[in-house]
Amino acid sequence: MKRFNDDLSTLHTLCAEQAIEIDPIMLHQLVHYGNCLEQWNRKINLISRKEDAPVIIKHIFHSLLITLYHSFRKGEQVLDLGTGGGLPGIPLAIVCQQTQFLLVDATGKKIVACQEMIKEIGINNAVAIHTRVEELKGVAFDTILSRQVASLDKLCAYSSRLLKPHGTMICLKGGNLEAEIAKTLSLSKNKNGFPSSIEQHPINGISPFFSEKEIVIVR
């Protein structure tokens, strides 16, 4: 119980510092998710087992920082591409309850974990399915999210056909992205002009745990 309360306090303080509004029920759901994520991670490799920061900060608060740069709308259709253990889709679904989230991953065991966590926490606006992104047909999204390590040009290649006109891709990335972004923009003419722009928003000033981390917005 002490650990749960400590995580509640930590997340509440961090969100307040960034003016991220979450109510007490959402706060409890987010911490509950963190506990579930750690429990499932003992069975399935969802996140690193050699963490250098608390899960509540490195994974959950990290995911919530997307809301600083993107306002999720009522009815917005969002794809979490390569969701792994539900990141960033599950934390965002908890705090953006009017938005619809589809979580996909090619690894079946990870999706089983996501499905069980969604059910356990009581999230009604997120669905997790086992599929490869190449197999998604007849659907289009307003926004595509990714926290995976694939290069930006590959993520754009996956996303371009799945985004609605004027859609947005948002990635949580790390390291020096200069060459990666230059390559992605140079290839855009072969992908119907997507992307036409790439914004970088460093978040290293928010926490020392986010050294060299950025939120990248692709349009």
DSSP states of 18-66 as a string?
TT----HHHHHHHHHHHHHHHHHHTTS-SS-SS-SS-HIIIIIIHHHGG
pLDDT for the residue numbered 191? 61
Kindly compute the dihedral angle of the four CA atoms of residues 145, 160, 191, 186, in this order, to the nearest 10 degrees: -10
Domains and CATH numbers, the chain: 2-218 (3.40.50.150)
In this predicted model, what pLDDT tens digit does every residue of 111-147 receive, in sequence order? 999 999 999 999 999 999 999 999 999 999 999 999 9
Alpha-carbon distances, residue 37 vs 27, 89, 114, 123, 178 (angstroms):
15, 13, 9, 15, 33
Query: With a threshold of 0.95, does the pTM exceed it?
Result: yes
pLDDT for the residue numbered 62? 98
Residue with tokens 């000033």: 205
pLDDT for the residue numbered 190? 66
Residue with tokens 């750690």: 38
pLDDT for the residue numbered 52? 74
pLDDT for the residue numbered 108? 98
Please count the CA atoms within 13 angstroms of the CA of 100 that sit on its side-chain side.
6
Q: Which residues of the chain have pLDDT under 70?
A: 190-191
C-beta of residue 151 within 8 angstroms of C-beta of residue 180: yes
